[in-house]
Amino acid sequence: GDPSLIDGTFIDRFDIIVLSRASLKTKLFINDNCRKRSKHIAFYSVDCKDSCGEIFVDLQNHSYLQKKPGGEPEQQELKYPSLQEAISVPWKDLSKKTTKLYYAMRVLESYESSEGRDPGETSLSDLPAVLALRKDMCDRMSLDESRIPTSLLERLLAAGKKEHPPVCAILGGILGQEVIKSISCKGDP
């Protein structure tokens, strides 16, 4: 649906918001609104395409207890970037170990957004336009196009809205663990 119909009083009812299969526009809108609230609202976004998936976490400023071997737990604090901040980092500044999937997902999100499509409303017929967008984004971000293999983009486009249940189960398990750690404030998030 239209995320602009969600107001602050609705969001205030939650401590944690988890989005799945949401458009980039919706993710940015909800994440921004979580950060604007007077109370701390954790934000999670999870996406699964074919046999690939990713999770984004924004706990804002998160305090937790970290166990020390043979000692008392120590209070730790982490500051998380918003989704907008995270995806705005120039690709040339990211670690060389950044997965190819990260870049491919950004290209697909950008394509779906520019075409006004919902997540997964793609097919192999979109490949020429997606490859042109990949070239444009790589040029702007000073990244070698080979970091986003055509074969990966083909696979993600062909998958459309298909998800592999075992991958969804793994992502759900990881996400569930992270939500519990966030709520309990125990252990590294």
Residue at 106: amino acid letter? R
Residue at 121: amino acid letter? E
Q: How does DSSP classify residue 69?
A: T
What tokens does 88 get? 């705005």
Q: Which whole-number Å values give the CA distances from 57 to 31, 72, 79, in the listed order? A: 10, 27, 11
20: closest CA among 42, 49, 61, 41? 49
Residue at 48: amino acid letter? C
* 3-184 CATH, one of 3.40.50.1360, 3.40.120.10, 3.20.20.140, 3.40.50.720: 3.40.50.720
Residues 6+ apart with CB under 8 A from 99: none
How far is 46 from 34, CA to CA, in rounded Å?
16
Strands 74-79 and 61-66: antiparallel
pLDDT value of residue 132 = 98
How far is 20 from 35, CA to CA, in rounded Å?
19
pLDDT value of residue 25 = 93
Dihedral pair phi/psi, residue 143, rounded to 5°: -125, 135
Angle at which helix 24-36 crosses helix 100-115, to 10 degrees, equals: 100
pLDDT value of residue 1 = 64
Query: pLDDT tens for residues 119-172?
Result: 999 999 999 999 999 999 999 999 999 999 999 999 999 998 999 999 999 999
pLDDT value of residue 19 = 95
pLDDT value of residue 2 = 74
Strand 52-58's sheet: what is its strand order?
16-20, 42-49, 52-58
60: closest CA among 83, 27, 88, 76? 83
Domain ranges of the chain: 3-184
pLDDT tens for the 189 residues of the chain, in order: 677 788 888 899 999 999 999 999 999 999 999 999 988 999 999 999 999 999 999 999 988 888 888 888 888 899 999 999 999 999 999 999 999 999 999 999 999 999 999 999 999 999 999 999 999 999 999 999 999 999 999 999 999 899 999 999 999 999 999 999 998 887 778
